Amino acid sequence: MGILLYRKSYTNMPESNLTKKAIALSAKELTKEKPYDKISISDIADRCGIKRQTFYYHFQDKYELLVWIYFNELFAPNMEDISLENWDEKLGAILTQMQEEKKFYINTIKHAEDYIIQYMLEVAEQTFEEAIDKLDEKSHLKNEERGIFARFFAYGICGIIVEWAKGGMKMAPEKLADYMREMLEKCKQAVYISDHDRQ
């Protein structure tokens, strides 16, 4: 199952599905005790009071569980109604929540980095593609250019977030979000200048 498919399938998850939430809570509790890559399915199942087969009924592995947590608890609640006008506020809310549960997010970013970065990049890239579509209303950008710009912004922001988390989340979330907003404003101005030169 592709990473972006997680977004679609988890969005439709019934609110009454308490088993997934209980499994997620158990995994989060265990990240306070050991690195995520050292946590086993048996560890999670035992902490949750379920059988291993029950875990596999809900998730393919512990990394699919991790993406489920990131989407349902971090991205979905904070990215609703995101726009070009409020994306920095939404980002600030995401960073604030990460800081409030810093042990979990620092642990999983450090010890499941490849899975988390891949997921974050795909979410960010899709978000920026939608934002660029709105910005480039006259379709001056080619599809290839639009994709490159979206990936550029996605890699930049995800890289900064990962570095911030690995460094202990010392900078205030709102300050980091402000820095990123200023950076993208300057990039946006550069796009306008480039667009003007083409005409």
Q: How many domains does the chain have?
A: 1
Query: Does pLDDT of 13 surpass 70?
Result: no
Q: C-alpha dihedral over 130, 135, 136, 137, to 10 degrees?
A: 90
Query: Does pLDDT of 174 surpass 70?
Result: yes
What's residue 3's pLDDT? 38
Q: Which residue has the higher pLDDT, 136 or 54?
A: 54
* 192 Cβ contact partners less than 8 Å away, ≥ 6 residues apart: none
Query: 105: closest CA among 3, 153, 11, 113?
Result: 113
What's residue 133's pLDDT? 66
CATH code for position 163: 1.10.357.10
Amino acid at 41: I
State mean pLDDT over 150-164.
86
What token pair was written down for 141?
Answer: 């950008």
Do the beta carbons of residue 134 and residue 84 sit within 8 Å?
A: yes
Give the structural domain span for 71.
Answer: 3-198
What's residue 16's pLDDT? 41
Query: Does pLDDT of 1 surpass 80?
Result: no
Per-residue pLDDT tens digits for 98-132: 999 999 999 999 999 888 888 888 888 887 777 66
Mean pLDDT over all residues of the chain? 81
Whole-prediction pTM? 0.78
What's residue 38's pLDDT? 96
User: What string of H, E and C letters represents the secondary structure of 70-84?
Assistant: HHHHHHHHHCCCCCC
Query: Does pLDDT of 5 surpass 50?
Result: no
Query: Does pLDDT of 154 surpass 80?
Result: yes
Per-residue pLDDT tens digits for 49-86: 999 999 999 999 999 999 999 999 998 888 777 766 77
Query: Does pLDDT of 48 surpass 90?
Result: yes
Per-residue pLDDT tens digits for 15-44: 448 899 999 999 999 999 999 999 999 999
What's residue 6's pLDDT? 42
Q: Which residue has the higher pLDDT, 147 or 88?
A: 88
Cα separation of 179 and 182, whole Å?
5
What's residue 114's pLDDT? 85
Query: Does pLDDT of 12 surpass 50?
Result: no
How far apart, in Å, are the Cα atoms of 53 and each of 5, 8, 27, 44, 64?
Answer: 23, 24, 16, 12, 15
